[in-house]
Amino acid sequence: MYGYQIAKLLDDYSGEASFMKQGALYPVLRQLESSGLLGSKVEPSVSGPPRRYYEITAEGKETLVVWQGVWKQMKSFVDKAIKGA
Amino acid sequence: MINSIEEYLDQLKTELKDSDAATVQDALSDAEDHLRAALANLREKQPERSEDEALNSIIEQYGSPAETASAYAEVERRTVPQLSRDNPKTESVFARFFGVYADARAWGALLYMLIAFVTGIFYFTWAVTGFLLSVSFAIFIFGLPFALLFFLSVRGLALLEGRLVEGLLGVRMPRRPLFTQQNLKWFERLKELAMDRHTWFSILYMLIQFVLGTIYFVLFVTVLSISLSFIAIPVLQELFNLPTIQIREGVHYFFPTWSYPLLVLGGFLLWTIFMNLARGIGQLHGRMAKAMLVTD
């Protein structure tokens, strides 16, 4: 997917209450790329400038699994804390 | 109210004036890609909306130039080029001098000095051949498109060299191609490239790299040979009975045994000094590359 597609997808997920500006996505994509979690290639586009397509790397997939674990723990902790309150 | 993508990019550039030049180049390239793609998409879906209106609704979602600039500044503050991460902060001069062996930037600089010899020759050949052919072909109908291709190749090589400099010398360089207007006709594009200071600085860099690459390589090989020779003298004299200096047939000179530790120490010190020097040269070269290959 290229940057604009990812931004649109995130917007679709967040619905009306968009939690971030699309412009903030690009520096994050670049940071993920420079740390080896994403790979990218530029391909020509029929309508407009060439586009940079991003793809998750093997290292990125491994890190994603770790992040998902951390997120589950965090979510269960917050859920428990709210119920207890 | 922003009336065109160019205006947005100008404002973004102003907002990023305190940021690293390479970050500015990346931010402009990302913003241009996104805004053009989004505008084309929106105009296709809702052709009844005016371009100004469509653009402003896109900017509303993308973020104002100030918001975008702060997002880049924030990420940039947290991200540093790979080799500048492990910068040993030792206190004494002694520890800093010998700590060079643990400094990835020094090893990166050494590798760069070797690679620069090859890239220097390639850049020089490419720049001289491309420039001369562009001038000679100017009388033919395909002369100008050829010149355009040459200028574009120079831009591509400048970006490639930037990646090499960032990877090995740890100096932040652009990660995206330089921002250029996409809707220009090829002749206008050629004119823009030919009038751009950046193109000529890149060509100059390609020429200079030949001289610097050769100097770096000669320095590297000479110092490595001398250092290794000093260190190897005891082994060569004692194990292989080889003389260090041969004045003429039958007249040999051997270093005395007591000088062995001094010779080995001398060789080791010479190489350590060179490693420190290479690290410095790497940093200087990085600054030069940044000044010449990155636009203001």
**Residue found by looking up tokens 């947005």 in the block:** B8
**Is residue A44 within 8 angstroms of chain B, CB to CB?**
no
- Under DSSP, is residue B91 helix (H, G, I), strand (E, B) or coil? coil
pLDDT at res. A76: 93
pLDDT at res. A48: 61
pLDDT at res. B89: 53
pLDDT at res. B179: 53
Over chain B (296 residues), what is each successive 10-residue block's mean pLDDT? Answer: 84 85 83 84 83 86 88 77 52 76 87 94 95 90 88 90 87 66 72 84 94 95 93 85 76 81 91 92 91 76
Residue A50 Cα, gap to closest chain B Cα (Å): 8
pLDDT at res. B296: 57
Over chain A (85 residues), what is each successive 10-residue block's mean pLDDT? Answer: 84 76 86 87 70 89 93 93 83
Distance CA B131, CA B174 (A): 25
Amino acid sitting at position B288 = M
**Is residue A18 within 8 angstroms of chain B, CB to CB?**
yes
pLDDT at res. B131: 92
Cβ burial of A72 (10 Å; 0-12, 13-18, 19+) is: exposed
pLDDT at res. B126: 95
B191: its two tokens: 């004119």
Distance CA B240, CA B66 (A): 72
Contacts of A22 in chain B (CB under 8 A): 34, 61-63
Interchain contact, B62 vs A27, CB within 8 Å: no
Distance CA B8, CA B39 (A): 13
What is the value of pTM for the model shown?
0.61
- Under DSSP, is residue B220 helix (H, G, I), strand (E, B) or coil? helix
Within chain B, strands assigned E span 245-248, 251-253
